[in-house]
Amino acid sequence: MTLSFSKVAIIGAGAMGRGIAQIAAQAGSQVWLFDTQAEAIQKARDAVFQQWDKLQEKGRLSAEAVAGYKSRLLGAASLQDLAECELVVEAIVERLDIKKSLFTDLEKVLTPSAVLVTNTSSLSVTAIAAALQRPAQFAGYHFFNPVPLMKVVEVIAGLKTDPAVCQRLTEFARQMGHTPVQAQDTPGFIVNHAGRGYGTEALRIVSEGIADFATIDRILRDQVGFKLGPFELFDLTALDVSHHVIEAIYHQYYEEPRYRPNVITAQRLAGGVVGKKVGEGFYKYVDGAAQVPAEPSVPVVDSIPPVWVSPRAARRMELLQLLKDLGA
């Protein structure tokens, strides 16, 4: 198999960056991981190495495979170290100005044929590419957390993206064992457009005193079929990411009410209670496990009255089923 990209760089050593680096190395690419905080690079490499070691212990990977993977995941001390890379994936903070500045700097370092992609979940691909000299070589490449397990990848063409670039990215996603989905450059693309309303609606329900976090999560898991409820998902992705995404999508849709941000996430972000990675979010975590209050008992009834479902809720159910069919 000829890889679409044999030399790949990942900018940003957080959860998303390390996950993308892991699957790219597993596909056979030489991968360089860069972060402005040098210690974050080593921490990310150690975390990925531990994942491979665990898979080896379980018999799912051979020692030879693990050794090969580890040899292909390297750290980079500066952007100059990435000069020969054919693909650079950005997975940094969700701020338009910082992303634009990074890609402008990368264009000065890389060869003209190099492909640049952003892992943004909410910002306009076209807007990020606007300051570039070669916008045809730029696209969106949105993975989901945790990357090795979540198999959908959104491939997003900006206004000036060369279609051949998206074709290469689509093939590379398959080579990494993932399922590429072509998405339009609209706020939230496919998954966040369809799913973001669940989070904001859940926050509104809590703010009106109708139900608590755990109850809403249970309902959406047990009755709707979600793998994670909205507050469990907020804790996984962390509010220092999710709150900014909520705000970005709200403003890009010209203040559409269904996407309106909520003071609950703003307050928790300000207080540093952002999610699982800091040990406390909507739930507290002990040894990585959420401390969920026991489900209250309810009386048994002979029959349940029919429930009216609004047209908006019915449409969300249809979009959820579509996401399930796509493997999300």
**Which residues are annotated as catalytic?**
121, 142, 154, 192
Contact 156, 141 (CB under 8 A): yes
Q: Using alpha carbons, list the distances in angstroms from residue 25 to 29, 74, 75, 140, 165.
A: 5, 10, 13, 20, 20
DSSP summary character for residue 307: -
- The Cα 64–Cα 235 span in angstroms is 36
Q: Which three-class secondary structure string do you get for 251-272?
A: HHCCCCHHHCCCHHHHHHHHCC
Q: Residue 72 to residues 22, 24, 273: CA-CA distances in angstroms?
A: 10, 9, 36
Q: How far apart are CA 116 and CA 103, in angstroms?
A: 8
Name the amino acid, one letter, at 100. Answer: K
Contact by Cβ (8 Å): 94, 121: yes
Question: Is-contact 33 106, C-beta < 8 A?
Answer: no
Query: What token pair was written down for 66?
Result: 């693990």
Which DSSP helix (H) or strand (E) runs through 117?
strand 115-118
Tokens 């994670």 belong to 228
- Vertex 208 angle, CA 211 and 281, to 5°: 60
211, two tokens:
């139900």
Quick one: which of 61, 65, 80, 75 has its CA closest to 30?
75
> Rounded to whole angstroms, how far apart are CA atoms 259 and 251?
9
